[in-house]
Structure formats: structure tokens, C-alpha cells
Structure 1
Amino acid sequence: MKAIVYREIGDPSVLKLIERDVPEPGPGEVRIRIHASGVNPTDWRAPSSSEWPMPYLEVTPHHDAGGVIDAVGPGVETFAPGDRVWVMSAGLGYNTGTAQELTVLPTSKVWPLPENASFEVGAALGIPALTAHRALTVAEGAPRRLAPKALDGFTVLVTGGAGAVGHATIQLARWAGATVITTVSGPEKAALATAAGAHHVVNYREGDPVAEIRAVAQDGVDVVVEVAVAENLDVDLAVLKNSGTIAVYNDDNPKVELNILQNIGLDTRFHFLLALSTDERMARMAGAADDVTAAVLDGAMGVGEEHGLPVIRFPLAETAAAHLAAQNGAVGKVIVDPTA
């Protein structure tokens, strides 16, 4: 079978297409034929950053995917060959990334993919959707699980609503009943955020974004799901409800300066998110994955331009080009297709 690997740190050219033996699933494991492998920022950053040491001498990248069960190991009763599934955190703790034709994973990393969802939807869940779920459930008074009406009465501000996590947050928050506001940088991204389901879209490069947000959320927003807190902090604090939460999942700027008295006055809660890592956190995220699957079953988690997240597809042999596209800020979900 074909697989992508890298054996050294460097630019996307370190990614190589190789042939390897078909792996066999062990006890509690399933073998999955990958139909769509999602590219996330961690996927293109890890091979190129000396700050992220290689966990193995040879690494197969990508954590998320949509595919079909090809074989099951001893003791597996929850899945059978032919079942459609989505995969999360494939490469965390196991050298079983999804940038290959077949991968073997424990069932704890695999969830059913409803028949109404494409494999591209499956590949766009994982890290983005579970990060979004966590961001929506850390605020004071917020539920720890999501379902229809779980966020009734909540107002959520999503910065960067045209990105993968922003897109998933908009969809999950709307499905759970929140009023969703998002900020974007221009009309093209505004159209995508609207298609994703945002109730109100604000172009932060024009007019007065604080006034526009406050016009919708006169009492302030309950939670800000933040992609660039250093850049957006002044706006966030100007629109945040007293005792509100700023949930930070990413920022290219490693430092932010806080006015302590201002934040004491607002009783601000900052929550810096790491959705997937330790076994304990993974166990907690299993419930989140169930919620995400329920949202998919309800048709709330679509991808494609009509759903606010264009799909940019590459064959497996062009995984390096896929990483480069994501690294250069491609608008949409970059997908590698091992079947192409």
C-alpha cells in the first residue's frame, strides 16, 4: 500500500511517497481504508519545526480522516468491515497517521460516520470540531455536552469564522441553539461564514466592529472563540459580558499583554485550549465526539462552499503540495485523497 512519510525536519519536500506492507489490526483495533485525510496546521507545522521533535524515526502525518472499516481485530464488536467512520487524533500516541491508503487504529479513535455525510465531512471533523466543542463548553454556566437547545440564550463570538475551527464552531454553536456572531476580513469570507450558519457577520476591517457586535449583543457576548487573541483582545474585552470567557485555541503571536485591573473589573475568564493530548483529556473528548457525530447526523456539519468551507483536494502523491497550500493560507479545508 502507499503511504506518505517523513524522516527528517524540513519544508514540505521532506514528505515522501513510499510503499509499505498492509498492517494487520490487533486486539481492540480496526483497519481503515482512508478516503479523505484532513490537513490541519499541526500537520504542516510538525515536519517543518525543530521545536517539535520527531516522535518516531519515520512519521506518517495527519490526524483526521473519513473512511471505511477494512478489517477488525480480535475483540472488536462495535465495528464491522464496511462501516463508514471518521477518525480523530490518529497520529497522537501512535505512528498511524491518515496520509496513507490504510491505517490501523484502536477503536477509541474511531466514530461512526452517518450515511448522510461525505468522507470529506469526516476528514474535516477531528481536531477542528473537537476544538470547537471544547471552546463552547468551557465558559462559566455553559453545558459540558452539546445538543439542540443546549446553548439557548448564549451569544458566541467566533473570530476568523472562515477558518476550519471557526467554521466548525459556527455550525456546532448554531446547532446547539446559540446566537452566533463572527468576524471576518472581507466579503468573500463573509459569504462563507454566512453559509456556515452565522447569524451576524462583521467585517473587522471596516466601520466600527465593536458597535456592530454590541448592536446584536447589547449585554455582551458570553464566550469569544479566539484565533488571534493578541490582535483582537481590545475588541474582545469591549464586547465581552461580565464574567464572560475568551477561549483561545491558536495565535501566531506567542505573547499577549493584559491590563490586569480591566480584566478584574470584567471578571474575565481566559481559557487556553488543548483539545487532544493526554489519555485523560482523550477520555473526556469521547463525549464530545459523540456530540459531534449527533450534529453530523442532524445535517449540521456540512463542508463545501455551499456550507461555508470549500474543499481543496489533492491526491496522496501530492501531499507536499497540500501542506504548502495549507501553510500559505488556503481558504477552505485541504484534503488529501488516497484513492485518487
Structure 2
Amino acid sequence: MKAIISREPGGPETLSFADIPEPVPGPGEIRIAVKAVGANFPDSLIIQDKYQFRPQRPFSPGFECSGIVDAVGPGVEEFSAGDRVLSMTGHGCMAEKVVTGTERTVRIPDAMPFDEAAAFLVTYGTSHHALADRGRLRAGGTLLVLGAAGGVGIAAVEIGAALGARVIAAVSTPEKLAVAKRHGAADGFVYPAGPFDKDGQKALAAAFKAACGPGGADVVYDPVGGDYAEPALRAIAWRGRYLVVGFPAGIPRIPLNLTLLKGCDICGVFWGDFAAREPEAFRASIADLLRLYGEGKVRPEISARFPLERAPEAITLLASRGATGKVIVTVP
């Protein structure tokens, strides 16, 4: 079968399109004939050995996919050949077939297209866990979303609006602001490109505060990091929750006196470990998301599609922070 393969650490240019043996499911495993793969920023990290875990090489990147179960291993009773599913595998999805466990695989509705399913699990799962669980976002609260037109950003905007919050979108271009508002942001603004000196950070903090209003943001959702983090934290409300989601702009250094002055919490969001450590809560979260999808309250924004052999281009686009919404790799 065909697959995208990482044989050495490096950027997308080090990946190859190759023939590899078809995998065989073992006990408790299923094999999925992949239809679509959701490309994610961590794909650019895992191939450079910069992610939280390092698969043994050679391996195929791709954290999440949708497709059809075409084989089940011994002991599997909850899935059968022919089931339409989405799955979070951690790696291995950029291939015609992938073998995975059943614990992070769920059936999808017949009405859900495979490309939307592949764009769903990581971004919406991350944002739902972040906002509903770690951030304890409530109706009537104010939510500030950084990078609000990216994959997880749009998911956070939609979920925040579905939870009844007032969503403020912070983005890098007017076009991205229009996308965020189309997905439910009540207001927003365009921030300048970093890095920032002290005066630049003060100006950005003032912009965050003006957008959120005098009460500040009850929850700050930050999948950007870098020099944007401290100014966003300065706009947080008393007893607010600052959600640490990702660092494409760099890992920030936060002055902890701000947490004392604001009486606020800084909360880490590691959805992958949440799914592994708390499987019942994970499945309840995904069930709630599929309910919201069925009600039309959440729907992935897919901005680009690449065939499997061009998957490195999808990873390059994400690494450049130029993507709006989700980037999908399709498998014939």
C-alpha cells in the first residue's frame, strides 16, 4: 500500500511517498481503510522529533483520520467491517490503511462526510475539553480566542458560542476575522505580527482589554503562545482561566505575579493524554460534539485539500501558520 514515510528527523521535505506492507490488526485492534486525514500542526513537530512522543522510524505522520473499518483483530466486538469511523491514532494516518486500537475510535453519522470527519476529532475534541472541562466556560461569560481562524481556533469559537459565551476573536488578517465571525464570534480584532518589544506588548494588551470590555475575559484560549501570551493574560478577568493549548509562535515566559494580581488560573490542555487517561470522559465529550454537529452548531471549515502523495505540502502549509480552518489530505 502507499504511505507517506518519515525515515529521518526533519521538515516535510524529508518525507517520502512509498510502498509499504499492509498492516494486520492484532488483538483488540481494527484496520481502517483511510478516506481522509486531518493535518495538524503537531504533524510538523513529530517528524522533527520535537513532539511529546517519538514513534519508532520509519513511520507515517497523521494524527487523525476517517474511513471504513475493513478488518478487525481478535477480541474486537464493538466494531465490524463496514463501519464508518473517525480515529485519533497519534501517527500513521497518512497511508491507505492504518491499524489502531478501539479506545479512541468512534462511529460517525451516515450524513457526515469523510473530509469533515477527518477535520473533527483533534480540533473539536481539544477545544471542547479545553472550554467545557479545563476552562469551565459558562453561558454569559466572555471568551477570548487567539488564532481564532485556525483549526482549533474556529472550533473554540463555535463551541464557545454553542455554550452561550460572548466570543472575541483575535486574528492576524481582516479575512480571518470575517471567517471567525461567520463561525459565531460576536466581535474581534486584527493583531499585528510579532515579535513585540515592551511597548508593542503594552499596545497589544490594551487592544485585548478594549475588545474584551471592562470585565475582561473569563476564559482565554491560547493556541498561539509566543509574545501574544502575556498581553492576553493581562486582559483576563478576576478568577479567569487561561488555557495553554499550543506554541506555534514560541513557548512564552509568563510573569507569575500576574496570576496573583488577577486571582486567575493557568490551565494546561493536553487532549491526547486526557483521551488516554480519562476514556469515559473522552467518549462523553465526543458524544456531545457529535450532538452539536447534528444540530448544526459546529461544522469544520476546510480551507485546503491535498491528495496523499502531496501530504508534505499540507504539513508545510500548517507549519507556515498560513492556513485558515483545517487542511485535509484525501486518500483515494
Q: TM-score range by the shorter chain?
A: 0.7 to 0.9
Q: Deviations over 1:193-229 (max 9, x none)?
A: 01222122222349963454244xx432211001234
Q: Residues of 2 paired with 1:129 and 1:168: CA distance?
A: 5
With over 3 angstroms needed to count, the CA separation of the structure-2 counterparts of 1:153 and 1:89, relative to structure 1, is farther
Q: Deviations over 1:40-84 (max 9, x none)?
A: 111122213467774313111111112122222333332222222
| 1:80 has 2:80 as partner | yes
Q: Residues of 1 paired with 2:303 and 2:226: CA distance?
A: 29
The residue that corresponds to 1:325 in the other structure is: 317
Q: Which portions of structure 1, spanning 4 or more consecutive aligned residues, are displaced by more than 6 angstroms? A: 50-53
The residue type paired with residue 311 of structure 1 is S
Q: Residues of 2 paired with 1:293 and 1:231: CA distance?
A: 35
Q: Residues of 2 paired with 1:76 and 1:188: CA distance?
A: 47
TM-align CA RMSD:
2.5
With over 3 angstroms needed to count, the CA separation of the structure-2 counterparts of 1:200 and 1:129, relative to structure 1, is same
SS at match of 1:263: helix
Contact 1:114–1:296 under 8 Å retained in 2 = no
| 1:55 has 2:55 as partner | yes
Contact 1:159–1:183 under 8 Å retained in 2 = yes
Q: Residues of 2 paired with 1:220 and 1:255: CA distance?
A: 21
Q: Residues of 2 paired with 1:263 and 1:289: CA distance?
A: 32
1:276 Cα deviation (Å)?
0.9
SS at match of 1:294: helix
Contact 2:64–2:87 under 8 Å retained in 1 = yes
Q: Deviations over 1:121-147 (max 9, x none)?
A: 21112322222122203457x27xxxx
Alignment counterpart, residue 201 of structure 1, candidates 171, 188, 195: 188
| 1:295 has 2:282 as partner | no
Alignment counterpart, residue 219 of structure 1, candidates 203, 215, 218: 215
With over 3 angstroms needed to count, the CA separation of the structure-2 counterparts of 1:234 and 1:324, relative to structure 1, is closer
Q: Residues of 1 paired with 2:52 and 2:235: CA distance?
A: 36
Q: Deviations over 1:270-327 (max 9, x none)?
A: 1122211373255643332222222222223323xxxxx3431111111222222222
- The farther-off stretch of 36-45 and 64-73 is 64-73
With over 3 angstroms needed to count, the CA separation of the structure-2 counterparts of 1:330 and 1:265, relative to structure 1, is closer
1:234 Cα deviation (Å)?
4.8
Contact 2:134–2:269 under 8 Å retained in 1 = no
The residue type paired with residue 227 of structure 2 is E
- The farther-off stretch of 193-202 and 224-233 is 224-233
| 1:231 has 2:223 as partner | no
The residue that corresponds to 2:198 in the other structure is: none
Q: Residues of 2 paired with 1:210 and 1:8: CA distance?
A: 42
Contact 2:88–2:122 under 8 Å retained in 1 = yes
1:190 Cα deviation (Å)?
0.8
TM-score (norm 1): 0.84
SS at match of 2:309: helix
1:103 Cα deviation (Å)?
1.1
Question: Taking every aligned residue pair, what percent have the same amino acid on both sides?
Answer: 29
Alignment of 1:23-172 (within 5 A): 23-49=23-49, 54-91=54-91, 97-139=92-134, 142=136, 151-172=138-159
Q: Residues of 1 paired with 2:209 and 2:219: CA distance?
A: 17
The residue type paired with residue 22 of structure 2 is V
1:160 Cα deviation (Å)?
1.0
SS at match of 1:319: helix
- The farther-off stretch of 160-169 and 123-132 is 123-132
Alignment counterpart, residue 313 of structure 1, candidates 279, 287, 305: 305
SS at match of 1:276: helix
Paired residues, what number? 318
Contact 2:94–2:308 under 8 Å retained in 1 = yes
SS at match of 1:153: coil
Q: Residues of 2 paired with 1:242 and 1:85: CA distance?
A: 42
With over 3 angstroms needed to count, the CA separation of the structure-2 counterparts of 1:246 and 1:54, relative to structure 1, is closer
TM-score (norm 2): 0.86
Contact 1:132–1:172 under 8 Å retained in 2 = yes
SS at match of 2:271: coil
The residue type paired with residue 76 of structure 2 is V
- The farther-off stretch of 275-284 and 74-83 is 275-284
